[in-house]
Chains A and B, each alone.
Chain A
Amino acid sequence: MSRRVVITGMGWVTPLGHELESVWRRMLQSESGVAPTTIFDGHTFPTSFAAEVKDFSLSTFLGDDAARHDSASRNTRFALAAASEAWKHAGMCDYIGLDASRVGVYLGGGEGPVDFDPLSSAGLAGCLSDSGEIQELDTIKWVQVAEKLLNGTNELEQEPNLAGAHIAAQFGAEGPNFNTLTACAASTQALGEAANIIRYGDADVMISGGTHSMIHPLGMTGFVRLTALSTRNDSPATASRPFDRTRDGFVLGEGAGILILEELEHARRRGAAVLGEIVGFGSTADAFRITDIDEDARGGIASMERAMKSAGMTPDDIDYISAHGTGTEENDKIESLAITKLFGERAGHVPMSSIKSMIGHLIAAAGAVELITCVLAMRDGVVPPTINYEHPDPNCPLDYVPNKPKSIPVRAALSNSFGFGGQNNTLIVKAPST
């Protein structure tokens, strides 16, 4: 008998708040977490807004323990807070029977925000002559300034595996510890592989999900230069509009989503409430082009097919699709095509929404936050909306749950994440059997 993997706890830090139920309520009220950038002064940037996490303090979640993580990056703080909520939600705080060596971590954790001020100062010192002319980088000058300004601990905390390491230390997880960084697909991949680890028998409990913040000058610069971001500066709250004909790019968000995955019998033995079961996972590569998605949606379709095969399901079994739905011209069109091809006649009848319309694109953390909404949708029989949907696009002919949530029984949900460069991942979750 193969081991089954269930979800027993969930926590998130999002641009709409940090508490599981209140964020969910705000999503069902079609709220937007997008506003002008405040983390840095980005008013002259071609895109001057983002979906930022607001009013966040790690001590709210960890109390005195927060001091232990004083040096942690913004990413790691989000991850610790979300993990702490998930851990509590799973009833692990009071559970004394846990075998630490059987508890692991698998995150899709992004790199910590670049320590931009010292880096830019050193850059200028290396590239400006005494008279202010731009010259080729003088590494000697650069080193002299960088040595003084850069902080070794801040640099260390940018390593993408550090969030998982902080979590292991905070929650005593001595088992397997992985970090994946498949761009926008990372936390979906993390959850899928974490489930595989439990299924194989290498762990009984996995703290899994993702965390990321690229809302810093260089992160914004990178996406602006790719022309991937919406430039609707006069109306940030309506800028993220997946599947709408007038969409003009995604909105950069930040945050974390963490789920506690647990072997079913382990959860039953300790009397934990089962919130859902991970039944399917698929991972593929487009192997097409670095900058474009295959026009026939080959990789996305293959990823969903693999997930359905591993779940023993067909499109008929899927009641809700949580879209990758970034709000770029290309993604939304090709993702819609993938669903149309794979779901056939059922395509327009399965609601598919993108919560990125409300909280922006959390990059590595996006998939985990989206999977949490799938679990809540199954619990409450209501699926979250795609807001800012005003103009139908002939290339996007499906039911995107426009602007308002929709009440519908959800027994199984499928969640897609497609990483830049062509790494695709799909998860399928099922409601707990009653």
Chain B
Amino acid sequence: MNDRRRVVITGLGVVAPTALGIEPFWDGLIQKSTGVRRIDSFDPSAMKAQIAGSLPPYKLGDYIPKAYRKSAKVMACDIKIAVVASYLAVRDAGLITKCTIGRGESPGPTNVESQRFGANIGAGLICADLGELAGALATAADENGRFSLTRWGAEGMTNLTPLWLLKFLPNMLACHVTIVHDAQAPSNTLTCGEASSHLAIGEAFRTIGRGDADLCICGGAESKVNPLAMIRPQLRNRLNTTCNENPERASQPFAAQPHGMVNSEGGGLVILEELSHAQARGARIYGEVTGFGTAASSLSWVKPDEDGGPMARALTRAMSDAQVTASDVDLVAPFGSASVEHDAAEMAAWNKTFGDRLSEIPAMVTKGGLGNNGAGSGAIDFAATAVALHRNTVPPSLNTANLDPACRFRFVQNDPQDAPIDCAITLGTALAGGQSAALVIRKVQE
């Protein structure tokens, strides 16, 4: 489609285990920081995997207007991450919204029209706060210490706060973010596991492209650092359980001797904006989104296609949408969850799509220092890729020194590498479900 409006990236908000905010996050990548450590938000000692990418401490109040602070009571961790990321993205983009005015950071007026400001936010299967839920369930125990549904219905459930359900609805990420910043244009919540962020950003790209909004705040957030989210993949032997004593080494994407994934929490929200809108307000532009492609597995919802078929199709479609070929791409950002069979399938997909080109151009993967948070990982990758493109700098990829021999990615090991980057591509793929999506980012061409 040649008549679509052009869409650029003007703001990046990252909430990661290594840092909050795009600048410190990028510095962390350059310095090879890790956010993976022993879990301290609950006692993990009975878990097989006792480590995760946990967020540094933060105060939600530092990111929202004072008047909104009481809403924190109805926010699961996932929602808080999204709200923080939204503030960081809005500030990075130089936007003045209801939130920044409400925080007294600007007298106003806003520089974004609410009716033209949309949201597409990826979310996961938000876990209940186990302490709260289990504590309430325990009030419905019968004489033998067994749970009684009769007691629960009659009385026990009143031990849950009336607004309990609202903490865990996946659409609440977008609802809180749109309320805080007064974004009233098209609003969506994508729930496709690790593909969610890419799907959300891609859909926002289309929404602005066809004229339904001028700006969208998009990306995703999730927390997988809680007992339920830790035990789910553990039941299916997906987590690395061999590195409890050396957590910084645990997340090894595309490793020669793979041991599995590391859970984490975090997310990213980015501001996509129609090109002339961004130019008119003199916004700093990181790059232009020029292509989006998505595909799914028709074989299995549990395992990835061994040949990485859906991921390869997503990459091919995104490049075709961007009217580029593999030879135009000079930076690749694979997902690299460190989940054993998914990494193998992903390598196959990139090898198939890029062939020899893969060993000629730099690559970057963020999971080594962050772990995988699910729905928000893709947006963190997208933000890191956008900065790399903008600065012509490829950051080192932690824990990629001993790669699988089949892996042809050229990850940077120590010092960041200066490289002219005109065109980058990033991939997200749902570990369960197989949905895959890719985005192409380019420097803005006149």
Q: Which residues of A contact B (CB under 8 A)?
A: 40-46, 48, 100-101, 104-105, 109, 111, 120-124, 126-128, 132, 134, 136-137, 139-144, 146-147, 150-153, 155-156, 158-162, 164-166, 168-169, 171-183, 189, 193, 196, 200-202, 217-218, 221-227, 283-291, 298-299, 302, 306, 419-423
Q: Are B432 and A290 in contact (CB under 8 A)?
A: no
In the complex formed, the residue of A with least CB distance to B231 is: A146
Q: A111-B170, A123-B147, A171-B298 are in contact. List 10 more A-B contacts (CB 8 A).
A: A140-B46, A161-B191, A161-B193, A165-B432, A169-B299, A175-B295, A221-B152, A287-B114, A291-B163, A421-B174
Q: How large is the interface on B (under 10, 10 to 19, 20 to 34, 35 or more residues)?
A: 35 or more
Chain B, range 109-158, C-beta contacts under 8 Å to A: 114-115, 118-119, 123, 125, 128, 130-131, 133-135, 137-139, 141, 145-147, 149-154, 157-158
A196 to B149, CA, bound (A): 45
Q: Are A202 and B317 in contact (CB under 8 A)?
A: yes
B186 adjacent to chain A (CB < 8 Å):
yes
List the one stretch of B27-35, B177-185, B397-405 in contact with chain A.
B177-185
Chain A CB within 10 Å — which of B145, B147, B187, B313 has the most? B187
Looking at chain B's contact residues, the main secondary structure is: mixed
If A127-B138, A183-B171, A225-B161 touch, whether A169 touches B297 (CB-CB below 8 Å) is yes
A155 to B433, CA, bound (A): 13
Note all chain B residues with C-beta closer than 8 A to A178: 190, 192, 199, 203, 294, 435
A136 to B138, CA, bound (A): 10
Q: Are A161 and B164 in contact (CB under 8 A)?
A: no
Q: Nearest chain B CB to A172's CB is how many angstroms away?
A: 5
A128 to B186, CA, bound (A): 46
Note all chain A residues with C-beta closer than 8 A to B42: 139
Q: Are A142 and B137 in contact (CB under 8 A)?
A: no
A126 to B309, CA, bound (A): 43
If A105-B296, A127-B137 touch, whether A290 touches B74 (CB-CB below 8 Å) is yes
Tell which of A169, A179, A196, A298 touches B191, judged by Cβ atoms closer than 8 Å: A179
If A101-B295, A201-B1, A285-B178 touch, whether A174 touches B310 (CB-CB below 8 Å) is yes
Q: Are B179 and A422 in contact (CB under 8 A)?
A: yes
Q: Are A421 and B175 in contact (CB under 8 A)?
A: yes
A164 to B71, CA, bound (A): 33
Tell which of B187, B234, B294 touches A182, judged by Cβ atoms closer than 8 Å: B187
Q: Are B43 and A140 in contact (CB under 8 A)?
A: yes
Tell which of B130, B174, B192 touches A123, judged by Cβ atoms closer than 8 Å: B130
23 CB < 8 A contacts A-B:
A101-B313, A126-B134, A128-B145, A132-B141, A137-B130, A143-B46, A146-B228, A153-B302, A158-B125, A165-B432, A174-B298, A178-B294, A179-B435, A193-B203, A196-B206, A221-B152, A221-B164, A224-B157, A283-B187, A283-B188, A290-B179, A420-B171, A421-B169
A178 to B122, CA, bound (A): 11
Q: Are A177 and B152 in contact (CB under 8 A)?
A: no
Chain B CB within 10 Å — which of A46, A146, A196 has the most? A146
A227 to B47, CA, bound (A): 37
If A161-B191, A179-B191 touch, whether A422 touches B178 (CB-CB below 8 Å) is yes
If A180-B190, A284-B184 touch, whether A136 touches B135 (CB-CB below 8 Å) is yes
Tell which of A101, A123, A153, A226 touches B163, judged by Cβ atoms closer than 8 Å: A226
A152 to B238, CA, bound (A): 11
Q: Are B175 and A423 in contact (CB under 8 A)?
A: yes
Note all chain A residues with C-beta closer than 8 A to B130: 123, 126, 137, 139, 142
B280 adjacent to chain A (CB < 8 Å):
no
B396 adjacent to chain A (CB < 8 Å):
no
What number of residue pairs across chains A and B have CB atoms under 8 A from each other? 300
Q: Nearest chain A CB to B229's CB is how many angstroms away?
A: 10
Tell which of B131, B191, B206 touches A200, judged by Cβ atoms closer than 8 Å: B206
Q: Are B179 and A287 in contact (CB under 8 A)?
A: yes
A100 to B150, CA, bound (A): 49
Please name the 9 residue pairs, one residue from A and one from B, whose CB atoms are nearest each other, closest first: A222-B165, A152-B235, A421-B175, A123-B134, A177-B296, A44-B153, A165-B301, A285-B187, A45-B153
A217 to B137, CA, bound (A): 11
Note all chain B residues with C-beta closer than 8 A to A226: 162-163, 165-166
A140 to B43, CA, bound (A): 7
A287 to B116, CA, bound (A): 13
B336 adjacent to chain A (CB < 8 Å):
no
Q: Nearest chain B CB to A173's CB is how many angstroms away?
A: 6
Chain B CB within 10 Å — which of A120, A189, A227 has the most? A120
Q: Are B138 and A123 in contact (CB under 8 A)?
A: yes
Q: Are A156 and B236 in contact (CB under 8 A)?
A: yes
B430 adjacent to chain A (CB < 8 Å):
yes
If A42-B149, A225-B162, A423-B174 touch, whether A169 touches B301 (CB-CB below 8 Å) is yes
Q: Are A176 and B296 in contact (CB under 8 A)?
A: yes
Kindly supply a per-residue 1/0 record for chain B positions 209-252, scoring 1 wherever the CB is within 8 Å of any chain A CB and 0 otherwise. 01010000000000000011001101110000000000000000
Note all chain A residues with C-beta closer than 8 A to B125: 111, 158-160
If A139-B43, A217-B152, A221-B157 touch, whether A183 touches B179 (CB-CB below 8 Å) is no
Q: Are A182 and B145 in contact (CB under 8 A)?
A: no
In the complex formed, the residue of B with least CB distance to A111 is: B125
B279 adjacent to chain A (CB < 8 Å):
no
Q: Are A177 and B192 in contact (CB under 8 A)?
A: yes
Q: Are B191 and A299 in contact (CB under 8 A)?
A: no
Q: Are A285 and B317 in contact (CB under 8 A)?
A: no
If A134-B135, A181-B123 touch, whether A100 touches B298 (CB-CB below 8 Å) is yes
A169 to B347, CA, bound (A): 22
Chain A CB within 10 Å — which of B42, B170, B203 has the most? B170
Note all chain A residues with C-beta closer than 8 A to B302: 153, 156
B172 adjacent to chain A (CB < 8 Å):
yes
A46 to B47, CA, bound (A): 38
Tell which of B151, B161, B188, B296 touches A168, judged by Cβ atoms closer than 8 Å: B296
B176 adjacent to chain A (CB < 8 Å):
yes
Note all chain B residues with C-beta closer than 8 A to A422: 175, 178-179, 187
If A152-B232, A221-B160, A423-B187 touch, whether A124 touches B145 (CB-CB below 8 Å) is yes
Q: Are A143 and B231 in contact (CB under 8 A)?
A: yes
